[in-house]
Amino acid sequence: MKLLRTFFYKPLTSTLTVTSTNGFHLRPAAKFATEAKQFTCDIHIEFSDKRINAKAVNAILSLNLDTDDTFTLIAHGKDAKKALSLLNQTFAILMNAEHAPKQVEKLNASYQSPTQPGEIISEGIAVGKLHHFVLKEVQHASLSSFKQAVENSVVELDKLYNNSKKNADAHIYLAQKALLLSLAEEVDTLEGFNSRIEAEKEILRGGRHATKIADLNDLLYRIKKQMGYDYQVSLPKTPFILTADDLLPSQIKVLEHSTVLGVALANSSLASHTAILLRAAGIPSLLLDKPLKHEEDKVILDAYSGLIVLKPSPEDLIQAFKRQNEDDKLHSEIHQNRFNPAITQKGEKINIFANVSDLDSAKEAKEEGAEGIGLLRSEFLFKEHKPIIRDQIRAYRAIFDLFEDVTVRTLDVGGDKALPYIDIPKEQNPFLGIRGIRLLKTDPKLLEEQLEAILIAADNRPVKVMFPMISTPEEFKEAKDFALNIAREKDIPIDNVRFGMMIEVPSVLFALQEFNTLVDFYSIGTNDLAQYLFAIERTHPTLKIDPHSPILFNVIERIVKEATKPVSICGELAGDTRVIPQLLKTGVQTLSVSSKRIGQIKDKVRNV
């Protein structure tokens, strides 16, 4: 029937040229294929003597499209014209959004011993014994079917993405998920999946996207782990420098919990997902021009100068240890002082709170020196399944027990955040649609149960409840009355509960005087506020917001000046050490940041 339907339509074509310096690699290919899948028409790409399905990520990768390669996009079917138009736009956006990884400028260094050069993946310096990476595979009893293993791996990648949304590496997990789903189509067994992976690797080997072989290996690794395979990595318990041909992206998490001092890779790239994750983990790393073959008693990995120093002399070691000690001293001072208050040079106390997303991150925040929780993202309870009230109460209580000052934001979904069990209609502009407190219009029962759980868990503690995406005083009154009615109906005491709001929508700026009579506190979400101020979607692949725009600081200063209730900042801007002096000039006295940034932000404040 499909052949009969498409027979009546003339194929439409367009010619596209790869302009990205990274070529048409996994991440843009995944986005392109995802867009193509929404159309019913057949969509193909012709390049050289090959014709592939443009809805399959692995097929696009198999073309090894490099910079300046030109290909033909063909759409054939009822919605072909619309598909071609959108995909042409999508491709242009993806190409403009792609940039070559910035090459770190190397510092000059002079060593007496032989050196081996490399490109800097992640800066730092390490001195230690080389350890060659070895991975052993052990098969146990099968834990799940192949189909279930795929489903579990998709859930795992979704979780990694959701936990990394604010990090540069988040997009890796979405791309890997798209690739996995593409490869698993019409495959029913691990053997079949393995064969498909090997075929795809053979196509990529020696081509522009050969570094993506690591992603293919990583997906096979994930599936096999789900099916009962165990992977044993033998790493020293004493500090070491790891050398490897390449690493799988998922293995970086293993390294983060080891005694690794640095990493030297011989067959990767600065743009590989492994390299991105090494940078995110802050592990000093180099990409060498050739493998390190022999074990060494001790080497210097200088990821400031881009060198491995072999058999370093005493003078070489002294030089390396001096730089290392400078780094360690700075980090140690910051860490040791993390529990001390952040007081400016003028004697002004600035509160440094944490943004947390579950119990583990709340515990981490406590250990990192947070003075409270300025933003508890409650979405962690709602991801896969709708939580029952009892489980919500237990989770909130565990977090409330850790701090005397906790602000919990009610469920904030919509925009780029979805839940599988609520039906938000497909919107043309989801960031301007059903989001945050607007769930009261579509899913009031969900918020009713959440508020009941929060109020019960508060148990006469000073807890703050914060409503997201408030745009008018009427919205805030409706949300607060909704919460108060729950407390009355359920006979829950709430004398110590305060109600406030996120400032994310520009309309709030024109009603602050009225809001001052209604709210107990404000928290500025700089990410969304900037998005709506400049009318640029914060996930847009091409258009970018200047996070340091004077306009944004002027708006923050105006809010702090006109507000008669406490104001904090919980957006990414609060964790940017470069702008702390500017933020403090606005008069804000409470910053809520990610746990890893608490010590650094406190240190910066003390020097203002």
* Residue 436 DSSP code: G
* Gap between the Cα atoms of 114 and 3, Å rounded: 66
Helices (H), 516-579: 526-534, 550-562
Which residues lie across from 499 on neighbouring strands? 465
Give, in degrees to the nearest 5, the angle at Cα 211 between 205 and 213: 60
Question: Which element (helix H / strand E) includes 517?
Answer: none
- Residue 523 near residue 407 (C-beta atoms within 8 A): yes
Q: Give catalytic residue positions.
A: 273, 570
The first and second tokens of residue 241, run together, are: 């420098």
CA atoms within 13 A on the CB side of 605: 27
**Short-list 139, 143, 141, CA closest to 151:** 143
DSSP E strands: which ranges in 209-256?
A: 229-233, 240-244
- Residue pair 588/569 in contact (Cβ under 8 Å)? The answer is yes
181-to-76, 198, 215 alpha-carbon distances in Å: 24, 16, 13
DSSP state of 545: -
Residue 565 in tokens: 């209730």
Tokens standing for 15?
A: 């010619």
Integer angstrom CA distances of residue 186 from 59, 151, 155: 14, 14, 20
What does the block give as tokens for 245?
A: 């041909």
Q: With contact defined as beta carbons under 8 Å apart, do 309 and 113 qualify?
A: yes
Q: Name residue, tokens 């791309």.
A: 175
Phi, psi of 28 (to 5 degrees): -65, -35
